Amino acid sequence: MRILGLDYGSKTVGVAVSDPLLVMATSVEIIRRDSENKLRRTLARIESLIAEYEVDRIVLGLPKNMNNTLGDRVEKTMEFKAMLERRTGLPVIMWDERLTTVMAHKTMMESGVRREDRDKYVDSIAAMFILQGYLDSLANNRKE
């Protein structure tokens, strides 16, 4: 089984998936929508990815502020979490997403991705960092 990582935004959802051994996260795609509230196709695409990758749980980025308070996007993210759980029947784990977008931009800069092309990839790379943080915590808990 694998784990799906999601970076939920107002018009995009970045998607990443783990390897079967739950060691490494890989960027998959960015699901785009025209309006923040139009989620039917987004949820349908996530369901198809769950089936394709044989996912048994989802990690969803929690948009905390830098001072550890909950940001404006938290309410919408929690609503999205509830929709995912109802629609997929899978557990959805919330994971702190602070600085994942910054890390995604830095990674692309270091890799030589042109500034104008970074928006094409940033959300899926942020989802990869969210999922990788969760996978690393699982590995650390197994060692203890």
Q: What are 70-116's pLDDT values in tens digits?
A: 777 888 999 999 999 999 999 999 998 866 666 666 776 777 767 77
The residue among 65, 61, 52, 50 whose CA lies nearest residue 4 is 50
- Provide mean pLDDT across the span 28-56: 94
pLDDT at 46: 98
pLDDT at 144: 62
d(CA 33, CA 109): 26
pLDDT at 29: 95
Q: Domain tally for the chain?
A: 1
Q: What is the DSSP letter of 20?
A: T
34-43 contacts, C-beta under 8 A, 24 or more apart: 35/11, 36/10, 36/11, 36/76, 39/80, 39/83, 42/13, 43/83, 43/84, 43/87
Domain range spanning residue 93?
2-143
pLDDT at 5: 97
- Is the pLDDT at 68 greater than 80? The verdict is no
CATH of the domain at 67: 3.30.420.140
- Is the pLDDT at 126 greater than 90? The verdict is no
